[in-house]
Amino acid sequence: MTPKELLYVEDALGHEQYFQTKCRETASQIQDGDLKNFAQNLEQRHKEIFRNIYNLL
């Protein structure tokens, strides 16, 4: 993997961590159960994506 490709991967991992954090923060502020569940599911999905990208290395 070239240094530039590694930077792309690091950037993608950083984005996925950011999305996880934002989904977690949003879920903690939502009162509606369905929306809260949706945000929590998004957080889990971004965790999976992070793991998948990380495992490619």
User: In the predicted model, what is the mean pLDDT of the chain?
Assistant: 96
The sign of the dihedral angle between the CA atoms of 54, 39, 27, 34 is negative
Residue 57 pLDDT: 83
Residue whose structure tokens are 């590694």: 6
* pLDDT band at residue 1 under the 50/70/90 scheme: confident
Residue 5 pLDDT: 92
Q: Which two tokens stand for residue 25?
A: 């923060």
pLDDT tens per residue, range 15-29:
999 999 999 999 999
